[in-house]
Structure 1
Amino acid sequence: MRPSLYEFAGGDEAFLALARAHHERCLADPLLNHPFSKQDMNPQHVERLAAYWAEVLGGPARFSEQLSDHSSMLRMHAGNGPGMLELGPRFVDCFVAAADDVGLPADPEFRAALRAYMEWAVADVNEFHESGASVPAGFGMPRWDWDGLVTSGRD
């Protein structure tokens, strides 16, 4: 049996490095910089992001048990308007480049699964891009594996 994507990546340390590198790339991007440089951003954003990605990709349920839930994550990103739709591909590109930056395994199936996850995640967030969008409470954590979406958390 294959290890989870979380295990294959290298566990918590790998996801923390990935979240840091991704955040740095987004700050350096002229279009993504604005949403990533907000003064009201949680000072633990990178750690929370790492825990979120780790859980979704097969790691421990640390995010959902100790920090928040999927509905709250979607709410945090909701209502930012149609301009956010244009940022999605840049966000995905930063994620893929950050995986290179931190030396995550170059295995083609692993990298394809990471990209596919992030493309799905961006689309999931963008479902609530309209101003005044309301995100229902109670969405469970999505789960993603080598073959793609296991559960959206809305099942």
Structure 2
Amino acid sequence: MRPTLYEFAGGDAAFLALAAAHHERCLADPELNHPFSHPGQHPQHVERLAQYWAEVMGGPPRYSETCGDHSAMLRMHAGNGDMSDLGRRFVECFVRAADDACLPADPAFRAALRSYMEWAVAEVLAYPGPPGDVPAGPAMPRWSWHGLQPM
């Protein structure tokens, strides 16, 4: 049986390295740097992001247990209007951050990461209106080698 994407990546340390590298790439991007450098950002943003991605990829439910559910994450990112170009840039930063974090270069693994982030960005961008437009209760997504898993 194939390991989860979380296990294959290298567990918590790998996702923390990915989140840190992604954050740095977004700060360096001339278009993405604004949302990533505003003063209201949570002081443990990188750690929380790592926990979220780790949980989605098959890791322990640390994000859900300490930070909130999936709808809370969507509400946090809602209300920004049309950000379609930022979404593309976000995905590219994520893909390059996987190299920066020295995640496995296995093509199937990298394809799974990219497909997750493309799906996740599309989901976030589906809520350009106020946070109240996000429905309560969507389950935390689970991503595998074959994409989104049914709940």
TM-score, scaled to structure 1:
0.94
| Residue aligning to 2:90 | 91
CA drift of 1:111 comes to 0.2
Q: Which amino acid aligns with 1:130?
A: G
Where do 1:1-155 residues align within 5 Å? 1-82=1-82, 84-131=83-130, 134-151=133-150
Which runs of 5 or more structure 2 residues have no equivalent in the other structure?
Answer: none
- Contact 1:85-1:129 within 8 A present in 2 as well: no
Q: Spell out, residue by residue over 1:68-121, the C-alpha distance to the aligned partner (whole angstroms, 9 max, x if none).
A: 110000000001011x12201100000000000011000000000000000000
What is the distance in 1 between the residues matched to 2:85 and 2:116? Answer: 18
- Contact 2:75-2:131 within 8 A present in 1 as well: no
Superposed structure 1 runs of 4+ greater than 4 Å apart: none
Q: Which amino acid aligns with 1:29?
A: D
What is the distance in 2 between the residues matched to 1:80 and 1:53? Answer: 22
TM-score, scaled to structure 2:
0.96
Query: RMSD over aligned Cα, in angstroms?
Result: 1.1
- Count of matched residue positions in the alignment of Structure 1 and Structure 2: 151
What is the distance in 2 between the residues matched to 1:90 and 1:135? Answer: 23
Which runs of 5 or more structure 1 residues have no equivalent in the other structure?
Answer: none
CA drift of 1:33 comes to 0.4
Q: Report sequence identity in percent.
A: 71
